[in-house]
Amino acid sequence: MGSYSVRRGGWRGLIEEYRQFLPVSESTPVISLLEGNTPLIESRNLAREWCPNLRVLFKYEGLNPTGSFKDRGMTMAISKAAERGVRATLCASTGNTSASAAAYSARAGMMSIVLIPEGKIALGKLAQALTYGARTLQVDGNFDDCLRIVREITDNYPIELLNSLNPMRMEGQKTASFEVCDVLGEPPDYHLLPVGNAGNITAYWWGYREYRERGIVDRTPRMLGFQAAGAAPLVEGRPVARPETVATAIRIGNPARWDDAMAAVRDSGGGVWAVTDDEILEAYGELARLEGIFVEPASAASVAGLKKLLAEGFFGREKATVVLTVTGHGLKDPDTAVRIARQPEQVPADTEAVVRLLEL
Ligand code: F0G
């Protein structure tokens, strides 16, 4: 170890790391929890079983500070709001946006108000919003109702809107594409994402396009989006009045970034598909058991999507690189995890009994 010396300085958060690509200046106060720099994990077992000719990697966004990709957009939205002296923030959320908004607002010293659909957000996300100190309103309606109310209020009151309609959210979220290119040294051939309010697939596309326009990479991937079958307006081509899915994060019937997401899909040569709740939960279990990667159900939509496209022969015999964004951590939704997993086995506090049970 003689020649080893300490390595000083770690990741500085995505605004500092990608400052030249973001609309910030010297006078922008950077509100950060050192989000970004999430691992791009190469599949070991799933690809070998499912598609040995593809290179499959998972962009594990659940490892952001509040456990989802939302932190990328929130560091930008809150920093720019702080620059303008904003005092209060508001968002509608299926859970992750509210957790992230509450955390970054707290860090900026702003008051945070979040509107969530009653009974339809995962327990971990509710715990986060409450603990970060957000004023948390449970609305007797769905996400689309919450977003309508939020738009009406932010149109009329000096409160910052933190949904992905906020262009700064998109600016932050596009950095995930930069990270993928920076790690691989080139863009992937395909990028798969779950789609709810349709902001993230749009932001990724903008990120890839920007890297190409600046001459940093010479091509862009095909963007492939996956919605839950009970909440698939982009696939059906019309809003869904009563969206329903176990993947509560993407239980959205009328996405705010509808047109942008469809443009991303079209311009990149990609597509959108629906995956059923059964397919989502199967992929959720397989990702955990085959790779040791625990995500929330909505995140598994991209994995279910890969499986679906493989079954359809979509990738042919091509040797392609495929990146899947898995958007949120599995601990966000412990109820679903415990409900569908194999249950623990009861045993007395006795070595003999344990040995017998395990048939050692
Ligand atoms: N995955 C997770 C874990 C999410 O929380 C969301 C969106 C998505 C995927 C879909 O991303 O909306 O950009 O298409 N969650 C939002 C929220 C709606 O309120 O937390 P999108």
* pLDDT digits 0-9 by tens, 137-180: 999 999 999 999 999 999 999 999 999 999 999 999 999 999 99
Model confidence at 114, pLDDT cuts 50, 70, 90, reads very high
Model confidence at 1, pLDDT cuts 50, 70, 90, reads low
Ligand 1 center to 86 CA (angstroms): 24
The Cα 15–Cα 2 span in angstroms is 36
Which of 169, 170, 200, 259 for a ligand 1 pocket mutation test, highest count of atoms within 8 Å of Cβ?
A: 200
Mean pLDDT of 240-266: 98
Helix intervals (H) in the chain:
14-17, 46-50, 70-83, 96-108, 123-131, 143-156, 167-173, 175-184, 199-213, 233-236, 258-268, 277-291, 300-311, 334-340, 351-358
What is the percent of the chain where pLDDT is above 90? 97
Q: Give how far the C-alpha of residue 116 lies from the chain's centroid of Cα atoms, to the nearest Å.
A: 17
**pLDDT for residue 130 is more than 90:** yes
Phi, psi of 103 (to 5 degrees): -65, -50
The Cα 288–Cα 147 span in angstroms is 32
Ligand 1 center to 198 CA (angstroms): 8
pTM of the model: 0.97
Mean pLDDT of 297-301: 98
The Cα 284–Cα 279 span in angstroms is 8
**Atom from ligand 1 closest to the CA of residue 195:** 14
Mean pLDDT of 188-207: 98
If you take atom 12 of ligand 1, which residue's CA is the nearest one? 197
**pLDDT for residue 317 is more than 90:** no
| CA torsion through residues 349, 354, 357, 358, sign | positive
Ligand 1 center to 358 CA (angstroms): 41
**Atom from ligand 1 closest to the CA of residue 199:** 13
Ligand 1 center to 4 CA (angstroms): 43
What is the percent of the chain where pLDDT is above 70? 100
The Cα 239–Cα 111 span in angstroms is 32
Q: What is the pLDDT of residue 24?
A: 98
Ligand 1 pocket, residues with Cβ under 6 angstroms: 68, 70, 93-97, 164, 194-200, 249-250, 296, 298-299, 327-328
**pLDDT for residue 230 is more than 80:** yes
The Cα 195–Cα 139 span in angstroms is 23
Ligand 1 center to 196 CA (angstroms): 5
**pLDDT for residue 2 is more than 80:** no
Query: What mean pLDDT is reported for the chain?
Result: 97
Q: What is the pLDDT of residue 7?
A: 81
